[in-house]
Structure 1
Amino acid sequence: MKLFFKPLTYIAIVVLALFACKSDDSVKGNTNSDNEEAVTELHAAFSAFNSDAVTALLSDDGTEVYIETTGFPDHTSIYWEPNHPLYIDEPGVTKTTQNTFIGGGHGEAASFTVDAIPNLSGASVTTQLGTIGIAVSGASIFNDQEGMGDLDQAAGSLDWAGAHKGPGVYHYHLEPTPITSDDDSLVGILLDGVFIYGRQCSATGTHPTDLDASGGHTSTTQYTNGVEEYHYHIINEVYPASNYAYAPAYVLFSGPFQGY
């Protein structure tokens, strides 16, 4: 049985990123054919995703989930066009591009396919530049690197949500404060099919102390109905850079993928 949230009608236009991060409008996730574990319905966590932007489809055999997004977040930013209802002025932010906006049609959609039950038996894989996940808001998740190197080289361009556009997909590098701010909220899903949450753990109400090298651990979440499940958290460590428009800065995801 195929389940879905909302059909996606937006067609991505692929462009080469001219500044900062490397953008990729179609990213292949983990489709390990050896993992034949199946489910009969989408994970309950998908109910938290912005249905105006994100589509999640379960394969007919229940082994894979296809996820795609328009890339348009559901919150304010300086990266919206000035006449857009969600545009806000952020005087402390130095924009990556002056004439490229969210919704401007420059490679903003992202998609990937993951196992319905993440395969955690393989070797971990280092993240690459570009989209490494999709947030519940509809925007992409990136790691802690820029195309030019460390994230602090572009720190001043990150808006209040810990994101920027450059000029491809609008994407988060830091804890996305419209979604989570030192709490246990669901942030999104990464390319390996593993969900990522805020800095606190729903099971304990505190910052977890048992995270592995990927920033993950196994416990219950607010979406698992008492069943323990492996998932990631934003690490509760301030990123050491002094030139952010908003501080402190918490990197969204800097570890390797565990689910490969």
Structure 2
Amino acid sequence: MKKEIKKIVSYSSFLALILMSVLACSSSEDSSSEEADSDDGEEAVTELHAAFAAFNSDAVTAILSDDGTEVYIETTGYPDHTSVYWETDNALYIDEPDVSKTTQDTYIGGGQGEAASFTVDATPDLTGATVATQLNTIGIAVSGASIFNDQEGAGDLDQAAGSLDWAGAHKGPGVYHYHLEPTPITSDDDSLVGILLDGVFIYGRQCNYTGGTPTDLDASGGHTSVTQYTDGVEEYHYHIINEVYAAGNYAYQPAYVLFAGPFQGY
């Protein structure tokens, strides 16, 4: 009888050890899996950032992914303000005699289309290396038009400075786009300008939180503070850097580069 009891206890112990081992393994795998998901996953949100309400809804559409980790943004590219680059029979056309248009038959909505789209992280990743900007669209402005950096084609922006309209933009022949502070949107104030390819919002030259020109900007023109769209929560964002871009051939002066980079949110 004692042998039977001992045998049962031993067998039970053996089963217990196996069960404990399986549970430990399972727990370890679950933990590892959860850690991997946490490491590889992106931070999810439940609704679009409040700043998207400021975008021109006739041109810009922003859609949050089902899992709350990404935002798909697309635009018709048609700005909601006047320019010499509209066709002459358009209600938004204005004559700007000091602007040397890229080509006389290039206008918004003509030639190549203005449409642009990209997907960004719902919460920008600020933990990686900075990334240089490139030619073509680097962001979408609240007006619906594209944002470009401080380069034009194969050289510096001042090579094309004379073709920039009062909004700091031109079309030639692709999308209508801003290179300079877009004065219909912001002119030395704290207005939201748009969102860039890294998912970080960009504002005018002034800081909403301090009410003045920010003094703590990094090399990209970014810093962390409360904005008018964050409900008291600090958030990293860019500003147009308050430095005049020296060039003598702009139709409108002074000139402030909209965003030269590098991106911080990749």
On whether the aligned pair clears a TM of 0.5, the verdict is yes
Runs of 4+ with deviation above 6 angstroms: none
Unmatched tracts of structure 2, length 5 or more:
1-38
Q: 2:234 aligns with which of 228, 236, 241?
A: 228
Q: Give the C-alpha shift of residue 107 in structure 1.
A: 2.8
Contact 1:54-1:68 at 8 Å conserved across structures: yes
Q: Distance in 2 between matches of 1:96 and 1:190?
A: 25
Q: CA 1:78/1:259 → structure 2, altered by over 3 Å: closer, same or farther?
A: same
Amino acid corresponding to residue 224 of structure 2 in structure 1? T
| Match of residue 101 from structure 1 | 107
Q: Does 1:168 align with 2:160?
A: no
Contact 2:99-2:164 at 8 Å conserved across structures: yes
Amino acid corresponding to residue 205 of structure 1 in structure 2? G
* TM score, norm. by length of structure 1: 0.86
Q: Does 1:139 align with 2:127?
A: no
Residues 1-260 of structure 1: pairs in structure 2 closer than 5 A: 34-104=40-110, 106-260=112-266
Contact 1:187-1:198 at 8 Å conserved across structures: yes
Q: Distance in 1 between matches of 2:132 and 2:159?
A: 21
Partner secondary structure for residue 187 of structure 1: strand
Unmatched tracts of structure 1, length 5 or more:
1-32
Partner secondary structure for residue 153 of structure 1: helix
Q: Which has the higher contact order (CA 8 A, sep 6+)?
A: 1
Q: Give the C-alpha shift of residue 35 in structure 1.
A: 4.4
Q: CA 1:59/1:178 → structure 2, altered by over 3 Å: closer, same or farther?
A: same
Identity %: 86
Q: Distance in 1 between matches of 2:225 and 2:241?
A: 16
Contact 1:35-1:119 at 8 Å conserved across structures: no
Paired residues in the alignment total 228
Larger Rg: 2
Q: Per-residue displacement from partner, 1:9-66 (whole Å, max 9, x unpaired)?
A: xxxxxxxxxxxxxxxxxxxxxxxx9342000100000000000000000000000000
Amino acid corresponding to residue 239 of structure 1 in structure 2? Y
